[in-house]
Amino acid sequence: MIPSIKQNPFVKTIYNSYVVLFFIYLALPLTVVAVFAFNDSQFPSLPWEGFTWTWFFGTEQPWLGVFHERRIMRSIGTSAFVALCVSVLSITVGTINAFLFERAEFKFKGFLYVLMLLPLVIPGIILGISILVFSNFVANGVENLTGWEIEALRPGLTLVVLGQFSFITTIATLVIAARLKKFDSSLEEAALNLGATPWQAIYHVTLPFLRPAIIGAGIVALLMSFENFNTTLMLVGSDAPLTITMFDRLKEGSTPVLNAVSLLLMIGSSALALVMIFFQKGEKS
């Protein structure tokens, strides 16, 4: 309890051990995933057969390491490409939206704001199927009218990017708008008084102020895109992003190669998270 209040030591011990147990529960699945990436056995399970790097660097079947697995390496590339597209698109639209909601007055602003939040409360799988149904409708319509086949509207990477963009943009907008709200607009006025045009003032004064939020939103978008499964599952074509490839592999049966990829993912996301914390520290000073 609060330090000024005395507490029954027995209750306190139980409470403290509950907290410890909770954090063990949180850490346990990730720990076993990481540890079994180094087990010298065909299956990620006990007994422990000794330490090995083979699941990372092995070159021969069935001891093929992740760095020599074409399918996995290719899907990491696909995921990175999708994540980059989604990230750039969503921070661009997010920044424009932030200016719209913070700087402009117009009819139905409240209504549009709620509409803008909606993608967050729609289950991802539904976002996926609705976009699938609609893009298919458009593609068929165009094909019937003109005979052109628009490949981008069939399941594939374009649709995956659009599907992820459709809800990640909401998050980018919220993050960037929150920062824009804190901006002291007298700084812009000072720039205008000193002879800057409105565009110059925004470019040289406002955007640099927003930079930490824009970078933060970009990193969150990268991570969310990389992790996304539900929306992607419905829109994916022949080029599968990493989560889809791993899911397919997992259904076939698990091998320590999956542990190795998972460990790489953990390292990658922690590194990105650290970058973000670093930039947020910069924001405070």
Residue 24 in the binding site for another protein (CB under 8 A):
no
- Candidate list 13, 59, 71, 137; residue touching another protein; CB under 8 A: 137
Report 89-118 residues binding another protein (CB under 8 A).
92-93, 96-97, 99-100, 103-104, 106, 110, 112-118
Cα angle 8, 13, 15; round to 5:
95
Residues 211-270 that bind another protein (CB under 8 A): 223, 226-227, 229-230, 233-234, 243, 246-247, 250, 254, 258-259, 262, 265-266, 269-270
Burial class (CB in 10 A: 0-12, 13-18, 19+), 31: exposed
H-run or E-run covering 163: helix 157-181
Smallest distance, another protein to C-beta of residue 59, A:
24
Binding piece for another protein, criterion CB under 8 A, among 45-53, 58-66, 141-149, 210-218: 45-53
At position 198, the amino acid (one-letter code) is P
Rg (CA), the chain: 24
> Measuring CA to CA, which residue among 233, 10, 19, 278 is closest to residue 127?
233
**Among 50-58, 62-70, 139-147, 200-208, which window interacts with another protein (CB under 8 A)?**
200-208
Q: In angstroms, what is the minimal distance from the CB of 131 to another protein? A: 5
Is 198 a residue that touches another protein (CB under 8 A)?
yes
**Taking the complex as a whole, how short is the minimal distance between the CB of residue 209 and another protein, in angstroms?**
13
Residue 176 and residue 210 in contact, taking contact as beta carbons nearer than 8 Å: yes
The answer to whether residues 74 and 149 touch, using CB atoms and an 8 Å cutoff, is no
Could you tell me which residues come within 8 angstroms of residue 131 by beta carbon, excluding any fewer than 6 positions away? Answer: 159, 162, 163, 166, 234, 235
Nearest to 179 by CA among 213, 217, 205, 216: 213
Report yes or no: 215 and 279 within 8 Å, Cβ to Cβ.
yes
Residue 55 contacts residue 42 (beta carbons within 8 Å): no
**Selected range binding another protein among 26-34, 49-57, 62-70, 207-215, rule: CB under 8 A:** 26-34
Q: Which is nearer to another protein, 141 or 282 (CB)?
A: 141
- Measured from the CB of residue 273, what is the shortest distance to another protein in angstroms? 5
Q: Which amino acid makes up residue 209?
A: F
C-beta atoms surrounding 56 within 10 Å: 18
- Minimum distance, C-beta of residue 67 to another protein, in the bound complex (Å): 18
> What minimum distance in Å lies between the beta carbon of 244 and another protein?
9
Q: Show the beta-strand stretches assigned E in the chain.
A: 59-60, 63-64
- Would you give the binding string for another protein spanning residues 46-75, x where CB under 8 A is met? xx----------------------------
Shortest approach of another protein to residue 213 CB, angstroms?
14
Q: Which is nearer to another protein, 31 or 59 (CB)?
A: 31
| Residue 134 contacts another protein per CB under 8 A | yes
Asked if 194 touches another protein (CB under 8 A), the answer is no
Q: Would you say 163 or 212 has its CB closer to another protein?
A: 163
Tell me if residue 51 falls in helix, strand or coil. strand
Q: Based on the shown chain and the rule CB under 8 A, indicate whether residue 278 belongs to the binding site for another protein.
A: no
